[in-house]
Amino acid sequence: METLRLEIVTPERLALSEDVRSVTLPGVSGMMTILPRHAPLMTLLNPGEVLIRHPDGEEVAYAVGGGVAEVRPDKVVILADAAEREDEIDIARAEAARQRAERLLKEGVPPEQRRELELTLRKAYARLRVARRRRRRPGLQPRTTEEEGEQF
């Protein structure tokens, strides 16, 4: 089966480097699924969910906080501001961030702060959505990868 190399890098770490069947990205112009031999493409990413399909059919989701993806025929590199695998996400913290941002937005803030808050809110939504996806499938064991462990 044809695969493509997927790398997710953040300023703090190499979050993932694996051969995958396909990857779905939260591009600024909409969700897009990249298969091997895609045309060269560079896109900004919204905060959202990166969905990865492995050659064995298993699906894993990452929450990313925005960034840039570079697509080549055999390789996809995601330069993410932050990236967490579905089982790494601290739901309580994401929920707290969501509530705080929602409350501040309701109370009203200056425009430049508003944009930042909305971004925070979207990041929190993305993390919660990805984390809950994992919870809905309790049978799955957490995957382990080489960069497991050190959380920044």
Partner 1 sequence: MASDREIKRRIRSIKNIAQVTKAMEAVSASKMRRAQQQVLATRPYAQKAQEVLNFLAYLPQNKRFLHPLLQERPIERAMIILITADRGLAGGFNTHIIRHAVHFSETLNKPTTWVTVGRKGRDFMARYGYPIVAEFTQLGDKPTSLDIAPIARVATDEFVGERVDAVYVCYTDFVNVLRQVPVTKQLLPIEPLKPEVKWSPDYIFEPDPETILDLILYRFVELQILQAVYESIASEHAARMVAMRNATDAAMDLIDELTLSYNKARQERITREIIDIAGGAEALRQALEQ
CB of 54 to partner 1, least distance (A): 21
Q: How far is Cα 11 from Cα 28, in angstroms, rounded to an integer?
A: 21
Looking at residue 21, the DSSP 8-state letter turns out to be S
Burial class of residue 56, CB neighbours in 10 A (0-12, 13-18, 19+):
exposed
Q: Contact, 118 vs 105, CB < 8 A?
A: yes
Length of the chain: 152
- Nearer CB in complex with partner 1: 22/43: 43
Half-sphere exposure of 124 (CA within 13 A, CB side): 17
CB of 43 to partner 1, least distance (A): 4
The sign of the torsion formed by the CA atoms of 113, 8, 64, 33 equals positive
CB of 94 to partner 1, least distance (A): 14
Q: Which of 9, 104, 105, 117 contacts partner 1 by CB under 8 A? A: 9
CB of 8 to partner 1, least distance (A): 10
Q: Which of 56, 112, 146, 150 contacts partner 1 by CB under 8 A? A: 150
Site for partner 1, residues 65 to 94, rule: CB under 8 A: 67-68, 70, 72, 77, 79, 81-82
Under the rule (CB under 8 A), what is the footprint of partner 1?
7, 9-14, 27-29, 39-44, 67-68, 70, 72, 77, 79, 81-82, 150, 152
